[in-house]
Amino acid sequence: MTEGADPNRGSDAATTPESSRFPRLSRVRGSAGIAVSQLSHARGRTVLTVLGITLAVLAATLLAGTGIGVIQTGQQQFDAAGRDVWITGGPVRFSPTGVGGFENSIVDAHGLDAELEAREDVKVVTPMSFQTVYVRSNESDYETLVGVGAPARGGSVQITNGSGFSRPDVHYAGGNYTGPMTHEVVIDQRTAEMMNVSVGDSLYVGGTTGIARENEFTVVGVSPTFSRFLGTPSVVVHLSELQEVTGSTGADTATLMTLTVADGADPEAVAADIQADYPDYDVRTNQEQLTEILRDQAVVMAAGGSLVFLALLAGLALSVNVLLSHVYHQKRELAALKALGTSSSTLSLTLVAQALVLGTFGGLLGVALSFPAAVGLNRLAQLLVGFGDVVVLPRAVLAGGFAIAFVMSLVSSLAVSRQIAGIRPLDHL
């Protein structure tokens, strides 16, 4: 060994403190420790901030999940309807002064039905009318339900109990409305439970209670098809019979007409041809009709978006408030640290660590609460409108919710960091 050599010199690197070898890592660890300590000291403000961020995340995930769920449910319902083209006379309007409550805008529905059925590119035409009717059974009082005038038979109508209509719409009788009324009605399960009836029982249906007392219908089937489409309990009778009991036989009105095109025909081309032949009506394909319905709900979606925006602002304000509070109550300590040589960037890093802790807990809690909240909303929707998958939570929505919490944390920390840079040790010591 060389004289004067230090035998321990080779182990200097091994004994060098980790903080000296990785100064940045040590600074991050120190900032994180200070951040957690400060948040633990102000538990009330910390919990309030976490809840604010949680609310923002929850509002964002549920609104996004509802939007996706509504579109998916609508697409499924349109696909399940088995129709290719929809004809309407414009938006459905309420008519408070008339029997039935709805102003149906398609006139001479049976005549238009016959004209469209004669086209080679059209396979099936189904006119439908919606009216508010009074309904009661022998064991219940009158309830106002949606009456549907439509042929509750065929492959597009799902009958879960009973057989559906036994005869076609014979009451129309070429426009004279002198044919016999079948007095058959198809109901959904919610109506059956509400009226305490089943197949073979009687229901009294009419546009007024007086008309309803004179028109006894027999339940011939239970079907979820129309109640799913409308999102409400309903009773389905033949179109001409609904017109008869609601006093709308004069104009032979309907709300809409659905078409199934012939095999090999292009729905878009058929819709364009029919639109050219009947310019007074709106003719749309399945996708176009769904888009139009969603466009009509733009105000509702905008209101929901406003609520999410307010929730984000509230969460951001709470985050900024709690960080500012820490800075305000610890100005002397922060000034002392700066006087001892601690840089403003290190102190700002402490704020960033605090914000990330708040955002992480708030984001995780918001994502976790999204699942039971979605289940609760879906159950409520099932009870109110009959749809059970209104809110869906794909991974992208959950990841986006957590990202919102992360971004809110960074924004709040950057907003408060300037306060630390402005602290002067001589003013507080």
Helix/strand/coil for 251? coil
Query: Which segment, 103-112, 370-379, 380-389, is predicted with the most confidence on average?
Result: 370-379
What tokens appear for 157 in the block?
A: 């109508």
Q: Which residues pair with 284 in a beta bridge?
A: 86
Query: How many CB atoms are closer than 10 A to CB 122?
Result: 20
The CA–CA distances, whole Å, from 187 to 327, 353, 394, 421 equal: 66, 60, 35, 71
Express each pLDDT in 398-416 by its tens digit. Answer: 998 888 888 877 877 777 7
In this predicted structure, what is the pLDDT of residue 80?
61
In this predicted structure, what is the pLDDT of residue 198?
93
In this predicted structure, what is the pLDDT of residue 89?
83
Cβ atoms of 100 and 208 closer than 8 Å: no
- The one-letter code for the residue type at 161 is N
Q: Does the pLDDT at position 71 exceed 60?
A: yes
What tokens appear for 96 in the block?
A: 């408070």
Cα separation, 374 vs 247, whole angstroms: 43
Q: Does the pLDDT at position 305 exceed 60?
A: yes
Q: How confident is residue 12, by pLDDT bands cut at 50, 70 and 90?
A: very low
Q: Which residue has the higher pLDDT, 76 or 4?
A: 76
Q: Which of 33-47, 144-158, 199-213, 310-324 has the lowest mean pLDDT?
A: 33-47
Q: Which of 1-5, 167-171, 222-226, 283-287 has the lowest mean pLDDT?
A: 1-5
Q: Does the pLDDT at position 196 exceed 90?
A: yes
Cα separation, 172 vs 415, whole angstroms: 73
Task: Give the predicted TM-score (pTM) of the model.
Answer: 0.62
**If you average pLDDT over residues 309-332, what whole number do you get?**
70
Question: Residue for token digits 């959950």?
Answer: 398
Q: How confident is residue 97, by pLDDT bands cut at 50, 70 and 90?
A: very low
Q: Which residues pair with 138 in a beta bridge?
A: none
What tokens appear for 142 in the block?
A: 């009158």
Q: How confident is residue 20, by pLDDT bands cut at 50, 70 and 90?
A: very low
Burial of 28 by CB count in 10 Å (0-12 exposed, 13-18 middle, 19+ buried)? middle
Q: How confident is residue 22, by pLDDT bands cut at 50, 70 and 90?
A: very low
In this predicted structure, what is the pLDDT of residue 217?
96
Q: Does the pLDDT at position 274 exceed 90?
A: yes
Cα separation of the two ends of the chain: 56
Q: Which residue has the higher pLDDT, 396 or 92?
A: 396
Q: Which residue has the higher pLDDT, 195 or 84?
A: 195
Cα separation, 233 vs 192, whole angstroms: 9
In this predicted structure, what is the pLDDT of residue 19?
46
Q: Which residue has the higher pLDDT, 35 or 50?
A: 50
In this predicted structure, what is the pLDDT of residue 18?
46
Q: Which residues pair with 254 in a beta bridge?
A: 106
- Of all residues in the chain, the percent with pLDDT exceeding 70 is 71
Q: Does the pLDDT at position 25 exceed 70?
A: no
Q: Which residue has the higher pLDDT, 373 or 388?
A: 373
- DSSP code per residue over 302-357: HHHHHHHHHHHHHHHHHHHHHHHHHHHHTHHHHHHHHHTT--HHHHHHHHHHHHHH
Q: How confident is residue 323, by pLDDT bands cut at 50, 70 and 90?
A: low
Q: Which residues pair with 169 in a beta bridge?
A: none
Q: HSE on the CB side for 243, CA within 13 Å? A: 28
Express each pLDDT in 127-145 by its tens digit. Answer: 989 999 999 998 889 999 9
**If you average pLDDT over residues 328-353, what whole number do you get?**
71
In this predicted structure, what is the pLDDT of residue 36?
61
Cα separation, 136 vs 206, whole angstroms: 10
Cα separation, 379 vs 382, whole angstroms: 5
Q: Contacts from 275-284 at CB under 8 Å and sequence distance 24+?
A: 278/87, 278/112, 280/89, 281/87, 281/88, 281/89, 281/106, 282/87, 282/88, 282/89, 282/90, 283/85, 283/86, 283/87, 284/85, 284/86, 284/88
When the pLDDT of each residue in the chain is averaged and rounded to a whole number, the result is 79
